[in-house]
Amino acid sequence: MYALLETIDSPEQLRKLERKQLPELARQLRAFLIESVAQTGGHLSSNLGVVELTIALHYVYDTPDDRLVWDVGHQTYPHKILTGRREAMNTLRKPSGIAGFPRRSESEYDTFGTGHSSTSISAALGMAVAAQQQGLERRAVAIIGDGAMTAGMAFEALNNAGAMDANLLVILNDNDMSISPNVGALNNYLARLLSGKLYDRMWRSGEKVLRTMPPVLEFAKRAEEHVKGMMTPGTLFEEFGFNYIGPIDGHDLDTLVATLHNIRQLQGPQFLHVVTQKGHGYQPAEDNPGKYHGVGKFDPSNGDSVGASSKKTYTQVFGEWLVDMADQDQRLVGITPAMCDGSGLNDFAEKYPERFFDVGIAEQHALTFAAGMACDGLKPVVAIYSTFLQRAYDQLIHDIALQNLPVVFAIDRAGLVGADGPTHAGSFDLSYLRCIPNMVVMTPSDENECRQMLYTAYQHNGPSAVRYPRGSGAGVAITEEMTALPLGRGLIRREGKKVAILAFGSMVSPALQAAESLDATVADMRFVKPLDLDLIRDLAGKHELIVTIEENVIGGGAGAAVMEALQDMDMTVETLCLGLPDTFIEHGVHETMLANCGLNSEGIIASIEKKLT
């Protein structure tokens, strides 16, 4: 079934194939990809869309000497398969297996580690300049999607690159038909023509002659722009200083190989516009590319999920709360930076489309946009992953907190995120949020508490955050009625002796399990900021050991806040802070990852008993 694919363990072997063999290789690679991801889960639609482009890039460019930088990196499974990791695909996103994103430590072909969007052009430009500085003919290629191109960082890099003479190729993988739908024979022909040496030599020679006649040179440049602008949508990229080529069919291997071969001979910044289809070649993914963007295990014969949990996720709890809250208050608006489905906004977007704003991959803009709305009477709710909020930290401080604006942050994927690994782990938000003045920070311990905290945040007249983990909770019943919690007040969940465990959010459940063995007191602290100082004082006065536990790095986190509070109150008591260690934690199974960090009930018991001895 995979006879040709199994002969390819490196791009060097790929480049020995005849060009006429490449379509069959693409067919086998696509079939292998579907079968593999069905067994492991992972990203599917985006990878199916770049099969031909990946083959063409490794066929034309001298990788790994030539540098390929994949934006975001969730479309690099074909790249991994062709660069010696085919046999390891059954370990994808598993403990000690290969990562779901490019990693420099994993392969010399992974030239830049990515997981967040819109970094590829900056990184590839840096590599192109490094080659230039060292006098090398090495080429650098950035492959970026039309979604990632919405981020300001991408345009900053384009602006910088266009002013340089580095040998950089930016490939726009337009998989949403959002820029130009007119892909066909004429466009493919034009792309080959405009990327060819003859056109390049003619233009450079003409420019040389016309330099002696500046008005004529300017007229010629404008004429070229107008002619190309009538046939292509590249005027914007030409203005940045790139030679624009395309759009071309990203599933036409002959055109891809010919065009890339021509471009590799050109000097200076080049821009190739390629149109692909997400999920190409697999009907379920073609019909619903969003559903198959990130998948669990599924039946490849029909695309049906296998072993999906029936429990309600925190994301679903948020989505339902948002609709219910919007029913009550017409001032509510929902904002997300390109994560409508992932953040649970689909129902809200369908019911209240005029109050839903997907701003694209533009986290900084999302926050300042929300700030502007809050200034003029609206009630913005920003749905964002913990790891993506990091990208808008200045806007959080300067535009929202400093002005004490009532913006609610629904922070998904807090804590460890299992198979997605360190690029997507929300390990730092408690640390970077609690140090900001005016912020209220809440950590729900179950689904119902999450709903009530979201309502509490919405009623608060200032910036507030509710951070909750990926996946489902304990499965507790959710109260439809919404009640605001007393600000900065925790709750005793179990009375015990000697040891008091102050647990935050997702750690309440394992803390309660551990407490049964230890006969310890457990407090669901609920608020990281403001802290329940009265509760901390009371517990410290009655117990020999105060233990804090959080699914966040220990440094600067909730436990550190408790230690600071004890110091301010001049209270002397034995303390123990448990949380994520000072390292980036590799991908794996969430429960196992917590256990490895000592954050399951057994680990908590072991740490406390060790402290008591």
Q: Return the active site residues.
A: 278, 363, 391
CB 342 within 8 A of CB 315: yes
Three-state SS at 24: helix
CB 530 within 8 A of CB 464: no
CB 247 within 8 A of CB 183: yes
Residue keyed to tokens 């109260």:
479
Closest by CA to 505, choosing from 564, 563, 446, 463, is 446
Residue 580's H or E segment, with its range, is: strand 574-580
Residue 597: Cβ within 10 Å count: 17
Distance CA 300, CA 281 (A): 12
CB 374 within 8 A of CB 407: yes
Closest by CA to 225, choosing from 205, 243, 212, 247, is 243
Beta bridge partners, 412, equal 385
CB neighbour class for 180 (10 Å; exposed up to 12, middle 13-18, buried from 19): middle
DSSP assigned state of 514: H
CB 63 within 8 A of CB 11: yes
Q: What is the dihedral of CA 209, 269, 62, 83, to 10 degrees?
A: -160
Taking the CA atoms of 173, 225, 124 and 417 in sequence, report the sign of the dihedral they define. Answer: negative
Sorted by sequence, the CB contacts under 8 Å of residue 386 that are 6+ apart come out as: 411, 412, 413, 414, 415, 426, 427, 428, 429, 467
Residue 65's H or E segment, with its range, is: none
Q: Which segments within 468-513 are labelled E, that is strand?
A: 491-494, 499-503
SS (H, E, C) 126-177: HHHHHHHHCCCCCCEEEEEECCHHHCHHHHHHHHHHHCCCCCEEEEEEECCC
Give buried/exposed letters for 334-345 (b at 16+ CB in 10 A, else e). Answer: bbbbbbbbbbbb
